[in-house]
Amino acid sequence: MSYPSLEQYNNAFQRHATLLADAELKGGTLSTTSFGLPLAISGGFALTYTITAGPKKYAVRCFHRKSNELERRYQSISKRLAALRSPYFLDFQFQPQGIRVDGGIYPIVKMAWAKGETLGEFLEDNCSNAVALGKLSDALVAMAAMLEKERIAHGDLQTGNLMVSGGGSSVQLIDYDGMYVDEIKDLGSAEAGHLNFQHPQRKSANPFGPTLDRFSLISLYVALKALRADQSLWRTTNSEVDAILFRANDFADPRSSPVFALLAANSALAADAKNFAVVCMASIANAPSLADFIAGRSIPQTTSAIAFNGTAANAPKLGYIGAYDVLSGSDYEQCLKHVGDKVEVIGRIVEVNLARIKGSNKPYIFVNFGNWRGQIFKAAIWPEGMVVLKNRPDKSWEGKWVSITGMMDPPYSKTTSRFSYTHLSINITANGQMTLISEAEAQRRLAGPGVGSRVPIASNQDALARIKDQAMPTRAAPAPRPSAPVPRYAAPTPRPTSPPLTPNEAILAKIRATALQPMAGHQAPSAPPAGQPRYTQRPPMPSSPGSHQQHEGFLSKLFKFLFK
Closest CA to 248 of 404, 445, 431, 443: 445
**Which range has the worst mean pLDDT, 12-26, 153-167, 213-227, 461-475?**
461-475
Look at 469 and 315; give whichever has higher pLDDT.
Answer: 315
| pLDDT at residue 319, as a whole number | 81
The strand pairing partners of 409, in sequence order, are 425
Look at 453 and 343; give whichever has higher pLDDT.
Answer: 343
| pLDDT at residue 539, as a whole number | 38
Q: Tens digit of pLDDT for each residue in 99-158? A: 999 999 999 999 999 989 999 999 999 999 999 999 999 999 999 999 999 999 999 999
Integer Cα distance of 473 and 465 in angstroms? 15
State mean pLDDT over 244-271: 95
State mean pLDDT over 342-358: 94
pLDDT(549) > 90: no
pLDDT(492) > 50: no
pLDDT band at 323 (very low <50, low <70, confident <90, very high): confident
117-314 and 325-441+518-551, same CATH topology: no
| pLDDT at residue 450, as a whole number | 62
Indicate the SS3 state at residue 426.
strand
| pLDDT at residue 289, as a whole number | 98
In this structure, the number of other CB atoms found within 10 A of the CB of residue 174 comes to 21
Q: What is the CATH number of domain 6-112?
A: 3.30.200
| pLDDT at residue 311, as a whole number | 56
| pLDDT at residue 463, as a whole number | 35
Domains of the chain, residue spans? 6-112, 117-314, 325-441+518-551
**Which range has the worst mean pLDDT, 58-62, 190-194, 306-310?**
306-310
The strand pairing partners of 57, in sequence order, are 52
Look at 319 and 118; give whichever has higher pLDDT.
Answer: 118
pLDDT band at 190 (very low <50, low <70, confident <90, very high): confident
pLDDT band at 482 (very low <50, low <70, confident <90, very high): very low
375-381 and 420-427: which strand pairing? parallel
| pLDDT at residue 477, as a whole number | 35
Contacting residues for 485 by C-beta, under 8 A, at least 6 apart: 448, 450
| pLDDT at residue 507, as a whole number | 52
| pLDDT at residue 122, as a whole number | 95
Distance of alpha carbon 311 from its chain centroid, rounded?
27
| pLDDT at residue 356, as a whole number | 92
Characterize 483-515 residue by residue with b for buried, 16 or more Cβ atoms within 10 angstroms of its Cβ, and e for exposed.
eeeeebbeeeeeeeebeebbbbbbbbbbbbbbb
DSSP letter at 170? Answer: E
Look at 60 and 477; give whichever has higher pLDDT.
Answer: 60
**Which range has the worst mean pLDDT, 116-120, 141-145, 334-338, 496-500?**
496-500
pLDDT band at 304 (very low <50, low <70, confident <90, very high): confident
Integer Cα distance of 143 and 88 in angstroms? 7
pLDDT band at 359 (very low <50, low <70, confident <90, very high): confident
Contacting residues for 493 by C-beta, under 8 A, at least 6 apart: none
pLDDT band at 484 (very low <50, low <70, confident <90, very high): very low
State mean pLDDT over 50-74: 89
The dihedral built from the CA positions of residue 430, 431, 436 and 441, taken in this order, carries a sign that is: negative
In this structure, the number of other CB atoms found within 10 A of the CB of residue 100 comes to 15
CA distances in angstroms from 376 to 180, 399, 516, listed in the order given? 41, 16, 14
Look at 63 and 452; give whichever has higher pLDDT.
Answer: 63
pLDDT(225) > 60: yes
Q: What is the CATH number of domain 117-314?
A: 1.10.510.10
Q: Is 325-441+518-551 CATH 1.20.140.10?
A: no
Q: Tens digit of pLDDT for each residue in 506-547? A: 554 554 454 444 434 343 344 444 333 333 343 333 333 333
pLDDT(216) > 70: yes
State mean pLDDT over 29-47: 84
Edge to edge, the sheet with strand 162-165 lists 117-118, 162-165, 170-173
In this structure, the number of other CB atoms found within 10 A of the CB of residue 516 comes to 10
C-alpha torsion angle, residues 309, 314, 318, 319 (rounded to 10): 140
As a whole-number percent, the residues of the chain with pLDDT over 70 amount to 77
Integer Cα distance of 310 and 252 in angstroms? 13
| pLDDT at residue 207, as a whole number | 95
- What is the chain's Cα-based Rg? 25
pLDDT band at 290 (very low <50, low <70, confident <90, very high): very high
- Mean pLDDT in the chain? 81
State mean pLDDT over 350-369: 93
CA distances in angstroms from 306 to 145, 221, 263, 290, listed in the order given? 29, 21, 13, 21
**Which range has the worst mean pLDDT, 138-142, 247-251, 318-322, 427-431?**
318-322
| pLDDT at residue 462, as a whole number | 36
Look at 472 and 284; give whichever has higher pLDDT.
Answer: 284
Contacts 24+ apart (CB under 8 A), 222-227: 222/246, 222/263, 222/269, 222/272, 222/273, 222/276, 224/133, 224/136, 224/137, 224/140, 225/137, 225/269, 225/272, 226/263, 226/266, 226/269, 226/272, 227/123, 227/127, 227/128, 227/133
State mean pLDDT over 14-21: 96
